[in-house]
Structure formats: structure tokens, C-alpha cells
């Protein structure tokens, strides 16, 4: 087995949280061992914006400081629908008005190591611009390409 299994989900004031457990045996790679337990935080912030975060459930790790808009409680009526699959864990965001899936990670295994994160996704358009850290053309070739999000 690869990836993680969603073992529990709990509603919160801002959306919902979950616990992810490594599905198979712990693998050792050049970037460390798989993190066995992860926490999922999904926030339904506005009618048009949601945010999810996956982090190590048992250890503090460096987080890039970012100013985020203050949100007191989850948005009840949204223009999107968030769904999760349990095993292997995946998350999908669908536009309510058209049924178009705008983010889908349900087909690829999540990899979470101390120095390496991998989440596979599909997007509904070939017009993707400015994603990740790179030099070159602004419009990206998004046809099953590996794209680095953050570089050190």
C-alpha cells in the first residue's frame, strides 16, 4: 500500500479536520522516512476560497510565515464542494455551478517525508500560469509534468 488512510474526520468551526495514517510499511528514502501520522485541516473560508493544510501530527516543523485573512467561522454557502476519499486519502474540489473538478488528488498517493512532499493533482485546464518557483515561460506545460512548488 502507498499513501495514507484518512482514519477520522471531525467538524470544526472553520471546516473540518482529519487524521491520516501511513497505509503501508514505513519506507526510508534519501529525504528521510515516511511521517507515520499526519493531520489534515480544511477551512471553508469564503464562498469562493477554501484552504487545506497537511502537516506532521506529532512534531513541529518549520512553516513559512504567511499573512492569512482572518476567518471567524466556516462559510455555510460555497461555490464549491470539497470531498475526500478515505483510502488511499485524496481530496477533490468541485465547482458547484458546473460540476467541474478544479482540484483532484484522489488518484495519486500522497508522499510526506521530512524533506520531500509529493501530491499529485489534475486540473481542468491546460492554461496554467506561474505555479511554483521557476524561470522560463509563464504558461506551463501541464501535461503530466513534474512541477517543483518550493525550492531551497
**Which domains, from first to last, does the chain contain?**
4-140 (2.60.40.1760)
Mean pLDDT (the chain) is: 88
pLDDT at residue number 117: 87
pLDDT per residue as tens digits for the range 52-89: 999 999 999 888 788 888 999 999 999 999 999 999 99
Q: Which of 44, 62, 35, 25 is nearest to 117 (CA)?
A: 35
Using only the alpha carbons of the chain, give its radius of gyration: 16
Query: Which range, of 70-79, 89-98, 124-133, averages the lowest pLDDT?
Result: 124-133
Amino acid at each position: 500500500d502507498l499513501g495514507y488512510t484518512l482514519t477520522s474526520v471531525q467538524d470544526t468551526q472553520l471546516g473540518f479536520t482529519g487524521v491520516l495514517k501511513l497505509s503501508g510499511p514505513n519506507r526510508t528514502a534519501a529525504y528521510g522516512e515516511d511521517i507515520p501520522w499526519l493531520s489534515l485541516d480544511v477551512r471553508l473560508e469564503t464562498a469562493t476560497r477554501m484552504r487545506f493544510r497537511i502537516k506532521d501530527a506529532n512534531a513541529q516543523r518549520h512553516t513559512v510565515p504567511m499573512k492569512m485573512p482572518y476567518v471567524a467561522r466556516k462559510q455555510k454557502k460555497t461555490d464549491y464542494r470539497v470531498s475526500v476519499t478515505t483510502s488511499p486519502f485524496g481530496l477533490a474540489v468541485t465547482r458547484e455551478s458546473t460540476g467541474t473538478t478544479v482540484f483532484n488528488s484522489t488518484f495519486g498517493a500522497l508522499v510526506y517525508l521530512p524533506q520531500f512532499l509529493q501530491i499529485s493533482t489534475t486540473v481542468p485546464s491546460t492554461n496554467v500560469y506561474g505555479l511554483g518557483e521557476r524561470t522560463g515561460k509563464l504558461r506551463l506545460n501541464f501535461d503530466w509534468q513534474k512541477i517543483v512548488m518550493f525550492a531551497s
